[in-house]
Structure 1
Amino acid sequence: MNVKILADSASDLSKDHYNEYGIEMIPLNVHLDDRAYADVNEIDPKTIYDAMRNGKAPKTSQPAPEAFKKHFMACAEKNEPLVYVSFSSELSGTYQSAKIMEDMVKSDYPDAPLYIVDSKCASIGYGLVVLHVAKMAKAGASVEQIIEAAEYQAKHMEHLFTVDDLEYLYRGGRVSKTSAFVGGLLKIKPLLNVEDGRLVPIEKIRGSKKVLGRMIELMEERGKDFQHQVIGISHGDDLERAEQLSSMIQDKFGVAKENIVIEMVGAVIGAHVGPGTLSLFFSNQPNK
C-alpha cells in the first residue's frame, strides 16, 4: 500500500504537481474585501497581487482543524499510511492544528499510521520537499524512508529571497516602520533567508540590479552539486525576473532547464511579501 502524501497550499505547488504525484492538499485561507477564500481552490495569486498594487491589505489564516481531521480519519479508518509535510511551524499554526487533530483521531484509532513532519520551510522550498517524498511514495517507498527523506531534505533546504517593497514586510511585523520607509527611499532591497523555520535577514542591497548577482554568489557559497538536484524559483507576479534568474543559474552552474521549477508565490505567502518578490531554493547537501 503506497503512502499518501498530504501538504498545504503554502507549498506553492501547481495543480499539475498535485495531480501528477497524487499529493493531497489542504488550503490555507486568504481574506480579501471581507470575504475568506480557500487558497488555490477559490482564489489565485494574481488576484492578490493586483489587489495589493491597488492599496488593499489581504490577510491570511490557517485551515480549520476539521480539514485535517477529515483527511486523517479517512486514512485511519482504512489503516492507510499518511505523511503530512507541513508549512513551517514558525510561520503558521497549521502544524499545531494538525498535531491536535492527529491526537484526536488516534484516541479512537491508536494504531493509525498517521505521521506529521514540520518542514520548517516555505513556498517552493517547502514544495520541493513535498515533491521529493511524493515521488518516493509513488515509487513505493516505506513510511520510514519517506519520513527520513522529508526531514533530511527540509534540514538542508536553503531559502534566499528578496522583496520589491519593504512596506509589506512591515505590515507583517517583519521589519520596523523606519526600515520600511528608509528602505523605500533609498531603494534598498533586503536579502532574507529562512533558518530553523524563521525569517532571518542576511544583508541589504542598494539597487535591484545587484540583487540577482548576489543571489547567485550566495547560492555558490551555500550550496553544492546543483546538477544533481531540483532548483526552485518562486516569484510575486514577476515571471521575467524569475526566468532571468533561471538563465543565470543554468549558465553559471550547468543546471538543465528542466531541473528548475518556477512557480508564482501563492496567495497566502504573497499576501505577506507582496508583488515583485523573488525567491530561490536549493539544497546545501543533496542526496545522490
Structure 2
Amino acid sequence: MYKIISDTSCDLTKEEIKDLGVEYVPFKISIDGVEYEDDYNLSIQEYLDRMEKTENPIKTACPSPYDYLKIIEKNIDKDIYILTISSKLSGSYNSAKIAEQEAKDKFRNVKIYVIDTKSASAGHTRIVLKLLDLLKDKSFEEVIPVIEKEANNETTMFVLESMKNLIKNGRIKKSAGLIA
C-alpha cells in the first residue's frame, strides 16, 4: 500500500485526484490581505479579477512542514511518496523534507521519500503519473532510482501572457518587463 502526496503544482483534476488516491497540500496566495488556498474551493475568476486589479505585490506561501506532516501521520502504515514543484521555484520541497525528517524521527519504521519533480504543472503531473505506473510492479526501493531519473530528465519552460505580476512582485525590473 502506498500514499502519494503532492503540492498543488500538480495539475490533476478533482476526479483524477479522487480516483488515483493522490492527496494535495495546497499553496496559499494572498492578494491585498485576502488569503486564498489553492484548492478546489478556490474561485478562479474572483482570484484572477483581484490579481488583475491590485497594484500591490501578490504573496504566495508554500505548504508548511506541518501541512505535510498532518497527511503523513494519517498514512504511516503506507509507503509515502511526496512530490513537489521544483525546488528552484518554491520552498515546498524544503517543507516536505523537514516533514519527512520529523516523521522519521517520530515513527521509526515509516517509509517516506520526497521527490523534487524539477518541474511544475504538466511536468509535475507527468512525474506523478509515471510514479503511479511504476507502483504497479515495483517496490519502494525499486521505484526511487527510476522516478529520480525521470525527474532529472525534466525541462521546464514558462510562457507568460504578461510580465505584470513579475514586475509587481519585484521578480524582474520594470524596464526589463516592459521591453520583454
The TM-score, its normalising length taken from structure 2, stands at 0.87
Which of 132, 156, 161 lines up with 2:158 in the alignment? 161
Partners of 1:50 and 1:98 in 2: how far apart?
31
Q: Which amino acid aligns with 2:53?
A: N
Structure ranking higher in strand proportion: 1
Between stretches 159-168 and 4-13, larger displacement belongs to 159-168
**1:175: which partner in 2?**
172
Deviations 1:222-264 (A, max 9, x none): xxxxxxxxxxxxxxxxxxxxxxxxxxxxxxxxxxxxxxxxxxx
Match of 2:63, SS state, is: coil
Which of 122, 136, 141 lines up with 2:138 in the alignment? 141
The answer as to whether partners of 1:21 and 1:135 remain within 8 angstroms in 2 is no
After superposition, the Cα gap between the structure-2 partners of 1:171 and 1:33, relative to the gap in structure 1 and judged at 3 Å, is closer
Root-mean-square deviation (CA, aligned residues, Å) is 2.0
Q: Which amino acid aligns with 1:146?
A: V
**1:123: which partner in 2?**
121
Report sequence identity in percent.
27
The answer as to whether partners of 2:8 and 2:38 remain within 8 angstroms in 1 is yes
**Deviation for aligned residue 1:69:** 1.1
After superposition, the Cα gap between the structure-2 partners of 1:158 and 1:46, relative to the gap in structure 1 and judged at 3 Å, is farther
Q: Output aligned runs, 1:99-110, within 5 Å.
A: 99-110=97-108
The answer as to whether partners of 2:32 and 2:54 remain within 8 angstroms in 1 is no
**1:215: which partner in 2?**
none
Partners of 1:71 and 1:81 in 2: how far apart?
13
Partners of 2:52 and 2:35 in 1: how far apart?
19
The answer as to whether partners of 2:65 and 2:96 remain within 8 angstroms in 1 is yes
**1:16: which partner in 2?**
15
**Deviation for aligned residue 1:149:** 3.0
**Deviation for aligned residue 1:170:** 2.3
**2:96: which partner in 1?**
98
Q: Which amino acid aligns with 1:46?
A: Q
Deviations 1:168-200 (A, max 9, x none): 2223443221111223xxxxxxxxxxxxxxxxx
**Deviation for aligned residue 1:62:** 1.4
The answer as to whether partners of 1:87 and 1:94 remain within 8 angstroms in 2 is yes
Partners of 1:131 and 1:45 in 2: how far apart?
25
After superposition, the Cα gap between the structure-2 partners of 1:146 and 1:102, relative to the gap in structure 1 and judged at 3 Å, is same
For these two proteins, the number of residue pairs brought into alignment is 179
Partners of 1:44 and 1:136 in 2: how far apart?
34
Partners of 2:28 and 2:109 in 1: how far apart?
31
Question: Which segments of structure 1 move beyond 6 Å, counting only runs of 4 or more?
Answer: none
**Deviation for aligned residue 1:106:** 1.4
Partners of 1:164 and 1:155 in 2: how far apart?
28
**Deviation for aligned residue 1:140:** 4.5
Between stretches 48-57 and 33-42, larger displacement belongs to 48-57
After superposition, the Cα gap between the structure-2 partners of 1:153 and 1:47, relative to the gap in structure 1 and judged at 3 Å, is farther
Q: Which amino acid aligns with 1:170?
A: I
Deviations 1:255-276 (A, max 9, x none): xxxxxxxxxxxxxxxxxxxxxx
Partners of 1:53 and 1:120 in 2: how far apart?
29
Larger Rg: 1
The answer as to whether partners of 1:28 and 1:38 remain within 8 angstroms in 2 is yes
Partners of 1:98 and 1:179 in 2: how far apart?
34
The answer as to whether partners of 1:31 and 1:37 remain within 8 angstroms in 2 is yes
The TM-score, its normalising length taken from structure 1, stands at 0.57
